[in-house]
Amino acid sequence: MVETSNGGNLEEHEPVMSEIHLGCPPGLSGPYISKFTFCLPPLDADWSSHGETVSVQGEIELDKDGDIVVPRRPLNRSCCLSIQHNITSSIPNVGLQVWRAELVLSDFVLHKIHTSSEFMGIVSLELGAGTGMVGVILAHVAKTVFITAYSKVDHGDEILDNCAKNVHLNSEMFKYHASVYVRELNWKNSWPPTMDLENWETEKRFSWTSSEVEEVQGASLLLAADVIYSDDLTESFFKTLDRLMSQGSEKELYLALEKRYNFSLDDLDVVANGYSRFQSYLKDTDECESLEHDDSMPFFVGKPIDLTQIPQYVREYNRGNDIEIWQIKYVRRKSPSQ
């Protein structure tokens, strides 16, 4: 592919294909339901004892032969996630496909679920959710998950409908744990979204209520996967982040992306211009420390996650070397009194 100066690759109507098409029959172009398998901790897992030596008080239990009965840790549960997705799509509908960055972010969320209580009982919002896989997995332990995508005027609610389908297909995973909402979030519009209260009942089923908006204000976690592939989209994404992270409680974002290398006519070389543009929005830790002492504008600070420390929980894909996950925080401008 040839990458242009504005980060675009293909015309919007041209088909693109992900590497992930698990079990799909050859020649299939419409939606298909693939099965992704992974392990989840037991429902009664005691996170307070994870990674620590715990002293057990009380009487020692013996079996009928007088031998000590050693308590065994409950086995992890093997789970199967059903995800409806397309094999190919146009650029505006790439959210109908499963991409590797989505699976790596799923691995990251699963690792957090296995090793800590950090995501237990939280409120989270997933941006550009695609098939909704990451949000569905997170719903195993979260209190509330908002799975969001943008409804294209000329493409209808196809991506949002597909997200809702995947939530329904996997609802048994989280029916006792989380409330899951599929909602439209247009990155080019303001946040909070404007709501026509008089006509709300006649609006689409993916519209926000005032109570949901209030709950998002108190969210602590944002997630996004493979939303960095054009300069215009990247700019809109960070504007939306600014609106979300500057309001309400402190939030952090985990963003998975794929570094896509293309031949650039401007550089006459193979480059990852989209990745460079993404990095231009972030300060590193050293810059953050120097800016904290002046009256600077708000900014984003980001650092990559070491993926060698994240096991591959989802079995059916090849992770490769071009996927990264970034932890991104928002540093607010200090008030004059601070």
pLDDT tens readout for residues 112-158: 999 999 999 999 999 999 999 999 999 999 999 999 998 764 455 89
Query: Which pLDDT belongs to residue 42?
Result: 63
Neighbour tally for 227: CB within 10 Å? 23
Compute the C-alpha angle 293/294/297, nearest 5°. 120
How far apart, in whole angstroms, are the C-alpha atoms of residue 243 and residue 246? 6
Please name the amino acid found at residue 336. P
Task: Report which of 136, 140, 63 is spatially closest to residue 102, judged by C-alpha positions.
Answer: 136
The two beta strands, 262-264 and 269-271, are antiparallel
Contact 130, 159 (CB under 8 A): yes
Q: List, for residues 99-114, the tens digit of each pLDDT value.
A: 999 999 999 999 999 9
Q: List, for residues 170-196, the tens digit of each pLDDT value.
A: 998 776 678 999 999 999 998 988 765
Task: Report which of 136, 143, 142 is spatially closest to residue 82, judged by C-alpha positions.
Answer: 136
Taking residues 47-51, report their average pLDDT.
Answer: 40
Q: Where are the alpha helices (DSSP H) in the chain?
A: 100-115, 133-138, 158-169, 210-217, 231-245, 273-279, 285-291
E runs forming strands in 117-160: 123-127, 144-149
How far apart, in whole angstroms, are the C-alpha atoms of residue 253 and residue 270? 29
Contact 318, 258 (CB under 8 A): no
How far apart, in whole angstroms, are the C-alpha atoms of residue 112 and residue 269? 39
Phi, psi of 276 (to 5 degrees): -65, -40
How far apart, in whole angstroms, are the C-alpha atoms of residue 37 and residue 71? 28
The two beta strands, 31-40 and 77-86, are antiparallel
Instruction: Write out the two tokens for 148.
Output: 């969001």
Model pTM score: 0.83
Query: In terms of C-beta distances under 8 Å and separation of at least 24 residues, what long-range contacts does 289-297 make, across chains too?
Result: 291/331, 292/331, 295/333, 295/334, 296/333, 297/333
The more confident residue out of 159 and 13 is 159
Query: Which pLDDT belongs to residue 229?
Result: 83
The more confident residue out of 88 and 74 is 88
CA dihedral 223, 227, 233, 236 (to 10 degrees): 0
| 52 band by pLDDT with thresholds 50, 70 and 90 | very low
CA dihedral 10, 11, 12, 14 (to 10 degrees): -80
Q: List, for residues 326-336, the tens digit of each pLDDT value.
A: 999 999 866 55
The more confident residue out of 115 and 54 is 115
DSSP calls for 77-96:
EEEEEEEEEESEEEGGGGGG
The more confident residue out of 83 and 287 is 83
Region of poorest pLDDT, from 74-78, 171-175, 274-278:
74-78
The two beta strands, 252-258 and 323-331, are antiparallel
Q: How high is the mean pLDDT of the chain?
A: 81
